[in-house]
């Protein structure tokens, strides 16, 4: 038998399991501080315990809010069948801080009434999620009951597998048990609106405004200098200019420093508001999960600030890509001009050489023509001399 518990929290989850051959629920009975013990060979009797009218309202299941006698017998028979087939009996108890339930509109301290329908609906979501994530099969039967016999409202849950695998161990993943608890917390204390406001503050009020304001349009020379320092260290291939790529890990610290300076300069009030909202949510998480809570409250603020750094980093990198495109375009234009100038020079030189070659040929031809004429005249003179003799 094993247990996983959470202390000093608004929601406490305790999970246990009993092997089909176990002699009793002794450890479980010690946990709830009751003298009565229920034999594990009588899995069906556990449902009677859960439904004790002095402690709880009627049993509920995945598909029924309140079981009549016929359905109760069917559930008991299913538990007997599961035990006979060698299934482990899974036991979960979800306990709540009544003040926390009251703050969230589920418990009325004066009338001592509970919004059971809401708790049942949330339980169905939580159980389905946990069973699926633990790969517990599709032939499960579970029942539950909301107890009100202690200072804390709590829910007892029992599950058996009608087609148990041979290698069943009973132990479920801690991660899925944590998620099981989180379902209750998020469904009861819905902070979606607050989270949305935090995300809008980061993405809309800070990051999007940075995208609209280019670094070189500001009068802050320091930002331009830092911008160029990072730009010169980036890889040649622009496709790697993304905050999530390891190829730019060497410039991320400088990017984060640039983000911090920029936010402190242009979004100081926004950042103060963000810090205030994050701290409030951290306190809510501490109360819900407890001071331990796998450091969930610490991770929340850290993760949100890391998200701001990532988004701002990508905003600066996007601006650097545009800047690089302009630089490369200008370089290509200058190179093209240089090539054109060289071509024109070569063209002029070729024309000059061609003209010079033609002139040389003309002169040579002229010279040859003069020589031929002189020789012809000399021959004529020689002929005339011969006739005169």
More confident residue, 322 or 42: 322
**Tell me, what's the pLDDT at 58?**
75
For residue range 41-54, list pLDDT tens digits in order: 345 455 555 555 55
- What's the mean per-residue pLDDT of the chain? 80
Q: Is 170 a residue whose pLDDT tops 80?
A: no
Does residue 347 form part of some domain?
Answer: no
- Model confidence band, residue 221 (pLDDT cutoffs 50, 70, 90): confident
Whose CA is closest to 47, among 21, 17, 79?
79
Write out the two tokens for 199: 């995300």
Mean pLDDT of 339-363: 62
Residue 150 DSSP code: S
- Tell me, yes or no, whether 287 and 196 share the same domain: yes
- Tell me, yes or no, whether 270 and 237 share the same domain: yes
- Tell me, yes or no, whether 169 and 45 share the same domain: yes
Does residue 366 form part of some domain?
Answer: no
Residue after which a domain boundary falls, among 148, 173, 188: 188
Does residue 6 form part of some domain?
Answer: no
- Tell me, yes or no, whether 181 and 250 share the same domain: no
SS3 96: strand
- Tell me, yes or no, whether 131 and 150 share the same domain: yes
Q: Give residue for tokens 């069943």.
A: 168
- Tell me, yes or no, whether 146 and 246 share the same domain: no
Element (H, E) at 61: strand 60-61
Does residue 367 form part of some domain?
Answer: no
* CATH number of the domain encompassing residue 169: 3.30.930
**Tell me, what's the pLDDT at 194?**
94
Q: Is 364 a residue whose pLDDT tops 90?
A: no
Whose CA is closest to 158, among 145, 149, 176, 174?
145
Q: Is 306 a residue whose pLDDT tops 90?
A: yes
Write out the two tokens for 164: 């148990």
Does residue 114 form part of some domain?
Answer: yes
Q: How many structural domains compose the chain?
A: 2
Q: Is 3 a residue whose pLDDT tops 50?
A: no
Cβ-based burial of 181 (10 A; exposed 0-12, middle 13-18, buried ≥19) = buried
Residue after which a domain boundary falls, among 299, 318, 338: 338
- Tell me, yes or no, whether 329 and 300 share the same domain: yes
Does residue 387 form part of some domain?
Answer: no
- Model confidence band, residue 16 (pLDDT cutoffs 50, 70, 90): confident
For residue range 146-161, list pLDDT tens digits in order: 988 678 899 999 999 9
Residue after which a domain boundary falls, among 170, 188, 206: 188
**Tell me, what's the pLDDT at 183?**
94
- Tell me, yes or no, whether 282 and 148 share the same domain: no
- Tell me, yes or no, whether 174 and 211 share the same domain: no
* Distance separating alpha carbons of residues 76 and 206, to the nearest angstrom: 58
- Tell me, yes or no, whether 154 and 253 share the same domain: no
* Distance separating alpha carbons of residues 176 and 334, to the nearest angstrom: 61
Write out the two tokens for 102: 């009251």
Does residue 37 form part of some domain?
Answer: yes
Does residue 79 form part of some domain?
Answer: yes
Q: Is 111 a residue whose pLDDT tops 90?
A: no
- Tell me, yes or no, whether 259 and 229 share the same domain: yes
Q: Which domain holds residue 130?
A: 11-188
- Tell me, yes or no, whether 34 and 174 share the same domain: yes
First-to-final CA distance of the chain: 152
- Model confidence band, residue 346 (pLDDT cutoffs 50, 70, 90): low
* pTM confidence score: 0.67
Mean pLDDT of 229-247: 94
Query: Do 43 and 160 contact (CB within 8 A), yes or no?
Result: yes
**Tell me, what's the pLDDT at 223?**
87
CA angle 155, 160, 164 (to 5 degrees): 150
* Distance separating alpha carbons of residues 151 and 109, to the nearest angstrom: 11
For residue range 253-305, list pLDDT tens digits in order: 999 999 999 999 999 999 999 999 999 999 888 888 876 655 566 789 999 99
């Amino acid at each position: 038998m094993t247990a996983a518990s959470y202390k000093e929290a608004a929601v406490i989850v305790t999970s246990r399991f009993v092997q089909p051959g176990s002699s009793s629920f002794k450890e479980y009975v010690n946990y709830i501080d009751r003298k009565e013990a229920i034999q594990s060979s009588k899995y069906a009797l556990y449902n009677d315990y859960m439904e004790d009218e002095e402690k709880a309202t009627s049993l509920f299941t995945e598909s029924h809010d309140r079981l009549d006698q016929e359905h109760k017998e069917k559930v008991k028979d299913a538990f007997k069948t599961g035990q006979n087939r060698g299934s482990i009996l899974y036991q979960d108890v979800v306990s709540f801080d009544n003040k926390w339930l009251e703050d969230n509109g589920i418990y009325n301290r004066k009338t001592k009434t509970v919004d059971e329908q809401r708790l049942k609906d949330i339980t169905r979501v939580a159980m389905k999620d946990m069973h699926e994530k633990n790969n517990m099969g599709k032939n499960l039967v579970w029942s539950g009951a909301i107890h009100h016999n202690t200072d804390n409202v709590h829910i007892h849950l029992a599950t058996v597998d009608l087609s148990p695998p041979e290698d069943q161990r009973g132990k479920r993943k801690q991660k899925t048990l944590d998620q099981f608890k989180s379902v209750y917390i998020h469904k009861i204390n819905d902070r979606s609106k607050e989270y949305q406001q935090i995300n809008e503050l980061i993405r809309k009020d800070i990051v999007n405004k940075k995208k609209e304001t280019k670094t070189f349009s500001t009068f802050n020379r320091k930002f331009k200098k830092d911008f160029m320092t990072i730009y010169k260290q980036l890889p040649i291939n622009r496709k790697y200019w993304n905050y999530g790529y390891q190829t730019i890990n060497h410039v991320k610290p400088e990017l984060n420093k640039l983000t911090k300076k920029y936010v402190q300069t242009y979004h100081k009030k926004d950042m103060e508001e963000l810090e205030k909202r994050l701290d409030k949510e951290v306190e809510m998480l501490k109360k819900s999960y407890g001071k331990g809570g796998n450091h969930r409250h610490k991770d929340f603020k850290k993760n949100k600030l890391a998200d701001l750094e990532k988004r701002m980093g990508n905003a600066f990198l996007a601006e650097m890509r545009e800047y690089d495109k302009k630089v490369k375009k200008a370089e290509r234009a200058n190179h093209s001009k240089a090539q054109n100038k060289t071509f024109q020079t070569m063209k002029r030189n070729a024309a000059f050489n061609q003209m010079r070659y033609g002139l040389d040929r003309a002169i040579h031809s002229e010279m040859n023509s003069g020589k031929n004429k002189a020789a012809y005249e000399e021959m004529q003179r020689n002929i005339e001399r011969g006739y005169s003799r």
